[in-house]
Amino acid sequence: MNAVPMSASAISLRAVRKVYPGGVAGVRDITLDVTRGTFVTLLGPSGSGKTTTLMMLAGFEEPTSGQILIDDADVTRTPPYDRNLGMVFQNYALFPHMTVEQNVEFPLRVRRLDADSRRAAVAKALALVKLEGFGRRRPTELSGGQQQRVALARALVFNPPILLMDEPMGALDKKLRQHMQLELKAIQRELGITVIYVTHDQEEAMSMSDRIVVMNNGLIEQVDSPEQIYHQPASRFVADFLGDTNFVTGADLNSLLRAADNSPAPYAAADVHSLRPESIEFHRDGTSKGYGPVTVEQMVFLGDSTRYKVRLPNGNELWARAQNGRYTTPIVVGDSLRIDWRRDHVVSIERSGAGETNLVNQ
Amino acid sequence: MGRRVNARHTLPEYRPLMSGLPGAVLNLLTAVALVFLLGPVVIVLIISFSADSFLGFPPSGFSLRWYYNFFGGDPTWLKAFWKSMRIASMTMALAILLGAPAAIVLARLKLRHRPIIEALVLAPLLVSPMIIAVASYLQLAKVGLTGTSFGLVLGHCVLALPFVVMNVMVSARSLDFRLEQAAMNLGARPLVVAWRVTLPLLIPGILTAALFAFLVSFDDVVLSMFLSGIEPTLQKRMWDDLRLEISPTVAAASSVLILVTLVVFAIGAVVNRRMTQRIAGRRRVNMERV
């Protein structure tokens, strides 16, 4: 392996498995390659194995089996202090007995850098996170957002090739979180650093990542760009975990289509599809557009948009969502309408059997 | 400023648990308990300024003669005082040296039989000092350490260790292990982590433990009777005096003991507060000042 020239992978997980004492599986079997310089998010609910994966990357947990490569070097059994990885902890883990400066200086001090280079590097790192002038303060004298910047400066000051982040925005309020996401993304681009970011927040994952790794139950469900993950979910779990969706059967869709023009059913009746609420469009009854009729049974006002529960001709229900103001005649409960949907937004999630034609999905 | 005031306002208001007659009874009981606790101290303080030649209350007149006796008239008193200080200091050092690492290990390791080990460490609290004294005497006699300062320090360590282990263990348990993980992630090897992160954060707990160890030794009379030999500690000297002379010097000595205890606690409180401030930052202190 050493003979091979450096690959594009900053990190390689090969069949990594982690079983905790007592037989609890943290991570069942993970193989993943992370391209150098990309922002990769491990996304999943609690217990999905994302944090365990991060802890194994950092060296705080040892895999039960499998291999972890960083820059093509096997680090599976390397202790954390020899891995040279930056890390931002969930609670920031700033040293309370040190000033901001001393915190940021710590990794340089243990690397035995001389005082001048330390001072220069600390100043540069604090400038990067826009905290000039805060060096003499104690972490407890800072706000949550400022503490996070210190943690980021401390993790970046020694120029690690990889930055690990464990739900670092969890403690921040929404406005600040959105602001920090933008800044973090900008810093990542500026430094060209590889980021592994752990979160259970799908919006956060989609707004920052080049690639999202959706994890569930210790396994990887899908690795893709945010757009692909959202529009082409590979499994029912992914479709359900990211955003809202309808799980509709072929029969549901057929009931609409057939009622309209008596054409042969295009969908296999037992197949399950994911159809995002915003992909559904309403048309007034009486026009030739769309299929129906459907009845609006319930409305949920969301500010910028409204969610509508509609009843299909076959009796099943479906959620649609539309930007407010999109329809000139406002939709009200009890309306009888027709609906249409973008065919390429119907994603087959579960296929019922072999041999049946499937017109949707790619 | 606004924030501080708000913080103050969010504190729940104190409301008496009971009102009316039950409340009055409760207040009375509290007062009785306080008198009960502080009464002897006050009486001893008064007697120590007595002009009489024997212990008695109330004194017929006041003087400093017994303090004069303690601080020079009878040199054995001051000698005993300094011996107690020496023994207490050595006990403090040894108990910390032995107890603090043990406490950190007990707080950290997932030992299967940890409750049993903890119970063993805390056992001296449950055993009568007299039994410890007799047992220590017999064992130390075998190795020829009875009557030596070191023997007495060893004995006092047995009494002090539970306090040291308990205090340090509480500190070690509340320490966020992620701080150590962070240090390691930043490149610090385990020894550096211990020296630069773990130890500084445990200092307040270790300090409290040290004060307890000092006072346990300084206040002990039972072990001192068995182990201190011909040069008595202050407590032993007082005991001898009570049996042989019953002069109010004992009261003066008691007052000095109380003073030392108060000073030790005051030092502890001040230093501990400083340390906590350093760790917790100025904000918390500001809150206290409001």
The distance of A52 to chain B (nearest Cα, Å) reads 14
Q: Residue B33: how many CB atoms within 10 A of its CB?
A: 10
pLDDT (0 to 100) of residue A6: 59
More confident residue, A281 or B90: B90
Q: List the single residue in B178, B181, B282 with the smallest CB-CB distance to A141.
A: B282
pLDDT in tens, B24-43: 888 899 999 999 999 988 99
DSSP string for chain B: -HHHHHHHHTSPPP--S--HHHHHHHHHHHHHHHHHHHHHHHHHHHHHTB-SSS--SS-SSB-SHHHHIIIIISHHHHHHHHHHHHHHHHHHHHHHHHHHHHHHHHHHS--TTHHHHHHHHHGGGTS-HHHHHHHHHHHHHHTT-TTSHHHHHHHHHHHHHHHHHHHHHHHHHHS-HHHHHHHHHTT--HHHHIIIIIHHHHHHHHHHHHHHHHHHHHH--HHHHHHSTTS--HHHHHHHHHHHT--THHHHHHHHHHHHHHHHHHHHHHHHHHHHHHHH-HHHHHHHH-
One-letter amino acid at B240 equals D
Task: Please tell me the distance in Å from B179's CA to the nearest CA on chain A.
Answer: 5
Residue B117 is predicted with a pLDDT of 83
Q: How high is the pLDDT of residue A354?
A: 41
Q: Give per-residue pLDDT as tens, B201-212.
A: 998 889 999 999
Q: Is it the case that residue A362 has pLDDT exceeding 50? A: no
Q: What token pair was written down for A207?
A: 């707004």
Query: What are residue A4's phi and psi, to 5 degrees?
Result: -70, 135
- Mean pLDDT of the region A76-92: 94
- Whether chain A has a CB inside 8 Å of the CB on B196: the answer is yes
Mean pLDDT, rounded, for A142-162: 93
The pLDDT value recorded for residue B154 is: 93
Between B239 and A262, whose confidence is greater?
B239
Residue of B175, B178, B186, B202 to mutate when probing chain A, most A C-beta within 10 A: B186
Task: Provide the pLDDT for residue A352.
Answer: 61
Please give the average per-residue pLDDT across A49-78, as a whole number: 94
Mean pLDDT of A251-257: 79
Nearest to A97 by CA among B286, B208, B269, B182: B182
- Rounded-to-integer distance, Cα B127 and Cα B115, Å: 18
Which two structure tokens, joined as six digits, stand for B251? Answer: 């009261």
- Report the residue of chain B nearest A82, measured CA to CA: B187
* Segment 136-175 of chain A within 8 Å of chain B by CB: 138-141, 154-155, 158
pLDDT over 60 (residue A62): yes
Q: How sure is the predictor about B4, in pLDDT bands with cuts at 50, 70 and 90?
A: very low
pLDDT of residue A121: 95
pLDDT band at A253 (very low <50, low <70, confident <90, very high): confident
Which is nearest to A87 in space by CA: A58, A112, A59, A110? A58
Per-window interface: B 175-194 vs A, CB < 8 A: 176, 178-179, 181-189, 192
Task: Answer for the pair A154, A103: CB distance below 8 angstroms, yes or no.
Answer: yes
In this prediction, residue A355 carries a pLDDT of 38
- Span B95-116, average pLDDT: 86
Diameter over CA atoms, chain A: 81
Do residues B152 and B227 touch, judged by C-beta distance below 8 A?
Answer: yes
Mean pLDDT of A280-288: 79
- Residue A264 pLDDT exceeds 80: no
Q: How many residues does chain B have?
A: 290
Angstrom distances, CA of residue A248 to CA of A167, A275, A279:
33, 7, 13
Which pLDDT does position A150 carry in this prediction? 95
| A250, A265 Cβ separation under 8 angstroms | yes
Burial (CB < 10 A; 0-12, 13-18, 19+), residue A75, is buried
Residues A200, A54 contacting (CB under 8 angstroms): no
Residue of A164, A154, A157 lying closest to A11 (CA atoms): A164
Give the chain B residue nearest A81 (alpha carbons). B187
Q: Decide if A81 and B189 are in contact by the 8 Å CB cutoff.
A: yes
Closest residue to B279, CB basis, from A80, A85, A97: A97
Q: Which pair of tokens denotes residue A327?
A: 């329809």
Nearest CA among A91, A47, A61 for reference residue A200: A47
Q: Count CA atoms closer than 13 A to A175's CA, side-chain side.
A: 0
Inform me whether the pLDDT recorded for B7 exceeds 80.
no
Long-range contacts formed by A326-335: CB under 8 A, 24+ apart: A327/A282, A329/A284, A331/A282, A331/A296, A331/A299, A331/A306, A332/A296, A332/A299, A333/A296, A333/A297, A333/A298, A333/A299, A334/A295, A334/A296, A335/A295, A335/A296
Cβ-contact A201, A165 below 8 angstroms = no
Residue B1: predicted pLDDT: 37
Report residue A2's pLDDT band, with 50, 70 and 90 as the boundaries. very low
Q: Quick one: pLDDT band at residue A102, thresholds 50, 70, 90?
A: very high
Residue A353 has pLDDT above 60, yes or no: no
- Strands (E) in A289-335, as ranges, are 291-301, 305-311, 317-323
Q: What is the mean pLDDT of residues B238-248?
A: 83
pLDDT value at A357 more than 80: no
What is the pLDDT of chain B when averaged over all its residues?
85
How confident is the model at residue B6, as a pLDDT? 45
Please give the C-alpha separations between residue A221 and each of A32, A43, A168, A210, B221, in angstroms, as whole numbers. 12, 10, 23, 17, 71
DSSP A71: T
**Contact status, residue A360 vs residue A268, Cβ threshold 8 Å:** no
Each residue of A22-54: b (16+ CB within 10 Å) or e? eeebbbeebebebebbbbbbbbbeeebbbbbbb
Condensed to tens digits (0 to 9), the pLDDT of residues A215-250 reads 999 999 999 999 999 989 999 999 999 888 989 888
Please give the residue that has the higher pLDDT: either A1 or A29: A29
User: Are A113 and A121 in contact, with CB atoms under 8 Å apart?
Assistant: yes
Q: Is pLDDT at B52 greater than 90 in this prediction?
A: no
Looking at residue A345, the DSSP 8-state letter turns out to be: G
A20 touches chain B (CB under 8 A): no
| DSSP secondary structure, B139-151, as one string | HHHHTT-TTSHHH
SS3 track for B213-238: HHHHHHHCCHHHHHHCCCCCCHHHHH
| Among A107-116, A257-266, A299-308, B276-285, the least confident range | B276-285
Map out the domains of chain B as residue ranges.
2-44, 75-289
- Retrieve residue B152's tokens: 């007495």
Does ipTM surpass 0.85 in this model?
no
State the average pLDDT for chain A.
87
Question: Given this model, what pLDDT does residue B120 score?
Answer: 86
pLDDT at A356 over 50: no
Among the partner residues A60, A96, A154, nearest to B186 by beta-carbon distance:
A154
If you ran DSSP here, which 8-state letter would residue A62 be given?
A: -
First-last CA distance in chain A: 38
Query: DSSP 3-state assignment of A148?
Result: helix
Give contacts of B 151-180 with A, CB under 8 A. 176, 178-179
According to DSSP, the β-strands at A65-70 and A73-74 are: antiparallel
Q: What is the mean pLDDT of residues A330-356?
A: 77
B3 Cβ contact list (under 8 Å, min separation 6):
none
Widest CA span in chain B: 72
Whether residue A99 has pLDDT greater than 90: yes
Q: Could you tell me the pLDDT band of residue B185, with boundaries at 50, 70 and 90? A: very high
Residues 6+ apart with CB under 8 A from A311: A294, A295, A297, A317
**pLDDT tens digit sequence for B152-175:** 999 999 999 999 999 999 889 888
Give the pair of three-digit tokens for residue B133: 């004294």
pTM value is 0.78
- The fold of B75-289 is MetI-like fold (1.10.3720)
Angle between helices B149-174 and B114-122 (to 10 degrees): 140
Instruction: Give percent of chain A with pLDDT exceeding 90.
Output: 57
How far the first Cα of chain B sits from its last, in Å, is 10
